[in-house]
Amino acid sequence: MAKAEIGIIGGTGGYDPKLLESAEEIEVESPYGKPSDKITIGVYAGKKVAFLPRHGRGHKIPPHKINYRANISALKELGVKRILAPQAVGSMQEKYKSGDLVIPDQFIDRTHSRENTFFDGPQVAHVSMADPFCNELRDLLIKTGKSL
């Protein structure tokens, strides 16, 4: 099975796996079920990348029905160590304009009715959410964003 260290979970408007060279589609079954769609593995800028459309092709899966655990688990099975998950969102703050790049460092999880942990079995794990985003990736995104 093909491997990749970088995963991209494409959100609304982020469905162009044609950006990848030497692309191949892979179906991955995870212990949590099927991910949102087939995963496309290819090369971008000299790096092996795995691309997964969050809502499935054709944007058919609503957010509350996405099997997030299966998505993450499937990418991990392919060797992915870092995930970028760009999203199209809005803001109630007028200082943010359409097209602005915003890179969060925290979030408030207001989701309901979905599994929100990998640790729901007999083992107990306390996973810290103090720093929910990778600081190294955040710094790289901020630096790259400023250069655009």
Here the CATH number for the domain that contains residue 78 is: 3.40.50.1580
pLDDT in tens, 88-97: 788 888 999 8
Question: Is residue 48 in a domain?
Answer: yes
Q: Hey, which bits of the chain come out as E strands?
A: 6-10, 21-26, 39-44, 47-53, 82-84
Question: Is residue 1 in a domain?
Answer: no
Question: Is residue 58 in a domain?
Answer: yes
| pLDDT on residue 14 | 65
Look at the chain and report how many structural domains it folds into.
1
pTM of the model: 0.88
Residues 6+ apart with CB under 8 A from 17: 10, 23, 40, 42, 51
| pLDDT on residue 126 | 85
pLDDT in tens, 22-37: 999 999 999 999 999 9
Single out the residue of 1, 92, 105 nearest to residue 48, CA to CA: 1
Q: What is the mean pLDDT of residues 138-144?
A: 95
C-alpha–C-alpha distance, residues 49 and 21, integer Å: 10
Q: Coil, strand, or helix at residue 49?
A: strand
Question: Is residue 94 in a domain?
Answer: no
| pLDDT on residue 86 | 87
Residue 85 has pLDDT above 70, yes or no: yes
Tell me the pLDDT band of 112, cut-offs 50, 70 and 90: confident
Residue 16 has pLDDT above 80, yes or no: no
- Give the domain extent around 126: 6-87+101-147
| pLDDT on residue 15 | 66
Per cent of the chain over pLDDT 90 is 59
| pLDDT on residue 27 | 96
Question: Is residue 35 in a domain?
Answer: yes
Tell me the pLDDT band of 17, cut-offs 50, 70 and 90: low
Question: Is residue 105 in a domain?
Answer: yes
Question: Is residue 142 in a domain?
Answer: yes
Question: Is residue 96 in a domain?
Answer: no
Single out the residue of 9, 147, 131 nearest to residue 78, CA to CA: 9
| pLDDT on residue 52 | 95
